[in-house]
């Protein structure tokens, strides 16, 4: 198992949503002590009973009950560490994959036979199958597809975390105790905000927010917050106060990418490469579905490989089926995650606030928000 980071705790990101499908895969596949660790570093149950869509003043437009079943909210760092627990013998940190080729006897695009050579900055490795979970901009998937598997969608993100619940509990809309909110403002501004009530050795309870912006935000640490606050003119003073009080070392910048939900996602013969997660179906975090979708992929891939081990299918047949399942799940989720991103983009035009009203109307009509369980 290869990972380019030298330390798993050194990564950006604040909070991921694990939906009932992802929780079921993790409960089934993780050793009991790993699941217990994951439970201990995540919030469950009452912290996510609904998703809320609001205007920039955090006035509630739509409340969407969460899907029945287990939901967990977990920081990206604690999740990574919990998943990597017990893998010391097989996890090689600080190794960057730079490409792959079919092993002698095999031929790229001609299916499984012959195995694969993985090319890394530490030398080549041989294997039967390369499983790529290398995220947005995957070098492995790009090579398999012969093209980039996602593209920027024209929105940027600025995310932050404020330690401690108390300072911002005062003045917070009461509905935020039941789940996160996505606020949509004029001039191409949106904000995701959530109360994260879980303490781990890596993080205190706190408030997590993420701006979704059609205009780039200044990246200079001295001017980033004033610039963000300018873009938030007219927003709820409580929301602006939270952004203003975020320490510079708790800020992260992102460019949102998405796969084309209408084009071909996996346009290659299965093997010797199988891909999962953002590497093949990147989606913006506005749907809160990317981590859960990657975990669901992993569950299906494990089942496919079990079929091969048990002699129920050949590797090629099992991977073909896996790819069909992956596309069927990912396509609607990419589309749904793009929905809120498009609402934010719609408000960036000259219509301004009228665009927000239109976006609110769209919100009410969105399948994302009428189907239980698709909330972030
Ligand atoms: C820095 C960061 C912060 C994020 N923060 C949030 C957040 O706060 N909220 C949210 O909802 N979503 C967030 N996301 C997105 C979310 O974590 C992913 O969409 C989700 O985890 C899907 O997981 P994945 O395994 O497909 O990809 P990722 O989680 O991106 O994992 C890919 C892994 O592959 C490694 N890798 C990449 N290229 C190579 C290579 N060439 N060689 C070796 N290793 C490689 C990466 O270091 C990484 O560990 C964030 C993503 C990133 C990258």
Give me the tens of pLDDT residue by residue for the chain, a chain 376 residues long.
999 999 998 887 788 999 999 999 999 999 999 999 999 999 987 788 999 999 999 999 999 999 999 999 999 999 999 999 999 999 999 999 999 998 875 554 455 556 899 999 999 999 989 999 999 999 999 999 999 999 999 999 999 999 999 989 999 999 999 999 999 999 999 999 999 988 888 788 999 999 999 999 988 888 999 999 999 999 999 999 999 999 998 999 999 999 999 988 887 777 789 999 999 999 999 888 999 999 999 999 999 999 999 999 998 899 999 999 999 999 999 999 999 999 898 888 655 555 555 555 555 544 444 343 333 3
β-bridge mates for residue 162, sequence order: 207
Q: Give the residue, out of 156, 278, 293, with the most ligand 1 atoms within 8 A of its beta carbon, to mutate for a pocket test.
A: 278
pLDDT of 102 reads 86
Q: Which residue's alpha carbon is at the smallest distance from atom 19 of ligand 1?
A: 290
pLDDT of 106 reads 54
pLDDT of 369 reads 44
CB of 76 closer than 6 angstroms to any ligand 1 atom: yes
Q: In whole angstroms, give the CA distance from residue 253 to residue 270.
A: 35
Nearest 5°: CA angle at 293, between 161 and 45?
A: 60
Q: In whole angstroms, give the CA distance from residue 137 to residue 168.
A: 36
pLDDT of 272 reads 86
CB of 191 closer than 6 angstroms to any ligand 1 atom: no
pLDDT of 202 reads 79
Residue 376 near residue 288, CB atoms below 8 Å: yes
Q: In whole angstroms, give the CA distance from residue 80 to residue 158.
A: 21
CB of 336 closer than 6 angstroms to any ligand 1 atom: no
Q: Judge if the upstream peptide bond of residue 272 is cis by omega within 30 degrees of 0.
A: yes
CB of 280 closer than 6 angstroms to any ligand 1 atom: no
Q: In whole angstroms, give the CA distance from residue 292 to residue 367.
A: 19
Q: In whole angstroms, give the CA distance from residue 8 to residue 112.
A: 32
Q: How far is CA 233 from CA 53, 227, 236, 239, 351, in A?
A: 19, 10, 9, 11, 16
pLDDT of 193 reads 96
Q: Which residue's alpha carbon is at the smallest distance from atom 1 of ligand 1?
A: 12
Q: Give the residue, out of 291, 293, 326, with the most ligand 1 atoms within 8 A of its beta carbon, to mutate for a pocket test.
A: 291
pLDDT of 112 reads 54
Nearest to 285 by CA among 138, 153, 145: 153
Q: How far is the CA of 11 from the centre of ligand 1 (A)?
A: 9
Q: Give the residue, out of 3, 8, 13, with the most ligand 1 atoms within 8 A of its beta carbon, to mutate for a pocket test.
A: 13
């Amino acid at each position: 198992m290869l990972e380019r980071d030298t330390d798993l705790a050194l990564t950006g990101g604040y909070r991921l949503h694990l939906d009932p499908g992802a929780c079921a895969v993790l409960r089934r596949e993780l050793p009991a002590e790993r699941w217990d660790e994951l439970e201990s570093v995540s919030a469950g149950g009452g912290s996510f009973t609904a998703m809320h869509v609001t205007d920039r003043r955090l006035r509630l437009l739509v409340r969407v009950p969460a899907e029945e079943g287990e939901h967990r909210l977990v920081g990206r760092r604690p999740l990574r560490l919990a998943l990597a627990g017990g893998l010391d013998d097989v996890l090689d940190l600080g190794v960057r994959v730079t490409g792959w080729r079919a092993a002698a006897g095999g031929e790229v695009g001609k299916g499984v036979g012959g195995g694969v050579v993985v090319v890394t900055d530490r030398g080549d490795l041989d294997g039967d199958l390369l499983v790529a979970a290398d995220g947005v901009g995957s070098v492995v998937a790009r090579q398999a597809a012969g093209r980039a598997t996602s593209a920027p969608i024209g929105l940027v993100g600025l995310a932050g975390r404020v330690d401690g619940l108390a300072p911002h509990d005062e003045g917070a809309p009461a509905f935020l105790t039941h789940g996160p909110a996505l606020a949509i403002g004029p001039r191409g501004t949106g904000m995701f905000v959530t109360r994260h009530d879980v303490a781990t050795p890596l993080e205190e309870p706190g408030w997590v927010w993420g701006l979704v912006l059609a205009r780039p935000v200044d990246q200079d640490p001295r001017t980033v917050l004033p610039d963000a606050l300018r873009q938030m003119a007219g927003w709820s003073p409580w929301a602006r106060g939270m952004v203003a009080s975020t320490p510079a070392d708790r800020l992260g910048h992102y460019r949102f990418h998405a796969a084309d939900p209408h084009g071909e996602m996996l346009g290659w013969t299965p093997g010797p490469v199988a891909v999962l997660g953002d590497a093949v179906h990147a989606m913006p975090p506005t749907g809160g579905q990317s981590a859960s979708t990657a975990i669901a992929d992993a569950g299906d891939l494990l089942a496919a490989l079990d079929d091969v081990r048990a002699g129920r299918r050949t590797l090629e047949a099992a991977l073909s089926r896996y790819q069909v399942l992956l596309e069927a799940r990912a396509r609607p989720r990419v589309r749904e995650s793009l929905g809120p991103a498009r609402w934010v983009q719609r408000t960036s035009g000259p219509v301004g606030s009228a665009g927000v009203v239109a976006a609110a109307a769209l919100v009410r009509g969105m399948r994302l928000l009428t189907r239980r369980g698709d909330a972030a």
